[in-house]
């Protein structure tokens, strides 16, 4: 899968780590919290996260979210949990960049728009699922300007990768090439004290053992 070919669909999952729910004082979900992310927001390793003027708001700001991403290798409908891995072709490192004011404040919250500005979906070059071990036993780390800000094991997901695929394909066909972002752990900028949002000159690095590394500078556009 080339990152220069836009995926047909990007589905994001929110509130999938308890420590992230706790830091934002949210409620544990009964079902996966799902949103769409614009396929045109994808950029690759080394490319800049570009913050447009519309995303520079008087309160809150642009946040990082290190995540494990999976890519479906074939159309998927009503997939059983036990068979879910067989539908995955590739795995990647993702940064679900999010503009928190648009997500939390405007018109009751606009998750899709908040997460879909151009360049707001950095993805590493995907690796074959066959080269990756247990998807629920991977260490994820996010570094901001050399400071470790997120660290978690994917085993602490509320909904496992297999659960997500099964639930998201129940009664719904996800086409081949669909990317699923599986959620971020605690440590995001909005949850820190004081809050820390991305600004010009920052560099965000996300690593997942056995999957890869993702590094992106931050640029504010005029």
* Distance from C-alpha of 161 to C-alpha of 140, rounded to nearest angstrom: 15
Cis amide bond preceding 194, omega within 30: yes
Here the CATH number for the domain that contains residue 56 is: 3.90.850.10
Residue 2 domain-assigned? no
Q: What is the mean pLDDT of residues 86-95?
A: 98
Residue 109 confidence (pLDDT):
76
Residue among 121, 156, 176, 198 nearest 21 (CA):
156
- Asked whether the beta carbons of 177 and 90 are under 8 A apart, the reply is no
* Distance from C-alpha of 200 to C-alpha of 202, rounded to nearest angstrom: 6
Residue 3 domain-assigned? no
Residue 187 domain-assigned? yes
- Asked whether the beta carbons of 64 and 189 are under 8 A apart, the reply is yes
DSSP state of 138: -
Residue 5 domain-assigned? no
- Asked whether the beta carbons of 179 and 9 are under 8 A apart, the reply is yes
Number of folded domains that form the chain: 1
Residue 80 domain-assigned? yes
pLDDT tens-digit map of 5-54: 689 999 999 999 999 999 998 999 999 999 999 999 999 999 999 999 99
Residue 205 domain-assigned? yes
- Asked whether the beta carbons of 202 and 35 are under 8 A apart, the reply is no
Residue 4 domain-assigned? no
2 pLDDT band, cuts 50/70/90, is low
- Asked whether the beta carbons of 181 and 37 are under 8 A apart, the reply is yes
- Asked whether the beta carbons of 196 and 33 are under 8 A apart, the reply is no
* Structural domain of 173: 10-220
Share the mean pLDDT of the chain: 95
- Asked whether the beta carbons of 1 and 90 are under 8 A apart, the reply is yes
pLDDT tens-digit map of 174-209: 999 999 999 999 999 999 999 999 999 999 999 999
pLDDT tens-digit map of 53-84: 999 998 999 999 999 999 999 999 999 999 99
Residue 175 confidence (pLDDT):
98
User: Given a cut of 90, is residue 4 above it in pLDDT?
Assistant: no
User: Given a cut of 80, is residue 142 above it in pLDDT?
Assistant: yes
């Amino acid at each position: 899968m080339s990152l220069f070919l836009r995926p047909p669909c990007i589905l994001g999952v929110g509130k999938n780590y308890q420590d992230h729910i706790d830091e934002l004082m949210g409620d544990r979900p009964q079902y996966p919290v799902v949103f769409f992310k614009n396929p045109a927001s994808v950029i690759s390793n080394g490319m800049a996260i570009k913050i447009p003027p519309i995303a520079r708001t008087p309160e809150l700001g642009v946040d990082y979210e290190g995540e494990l991403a999976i890519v479906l290798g074939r159309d998927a409908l009503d997939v059983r949990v036990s068979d879910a891995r067989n539908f995955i072709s590739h795995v990647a490192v993702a940064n679900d960049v999010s503009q928190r004011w648009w997500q939390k404040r405007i018109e009751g919250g606009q998750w899709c728009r908040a997460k879909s500005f151009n360049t707001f979906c950095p993805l590493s070059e995907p690796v074959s699922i066959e080269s990756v071990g247990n998807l629920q036993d991977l260490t994820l780390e996010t570094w901001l300007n050399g400071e470790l800000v997120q660290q978690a094991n994917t085993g602490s997901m509320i909904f496992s990768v297999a659960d997500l695929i099964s639930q998201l394909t129940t009664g719904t066909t996800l086409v081949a090439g669909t990317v699923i972002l599986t959620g971020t752990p605690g440590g995001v900028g909005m949850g820190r004290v004081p809050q820390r949002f991305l600004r010009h000159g920052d560099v965000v690095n996300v690593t997942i053992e056995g999957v890869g590394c993702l590094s992106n500078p931050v640029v504010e556009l005029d």
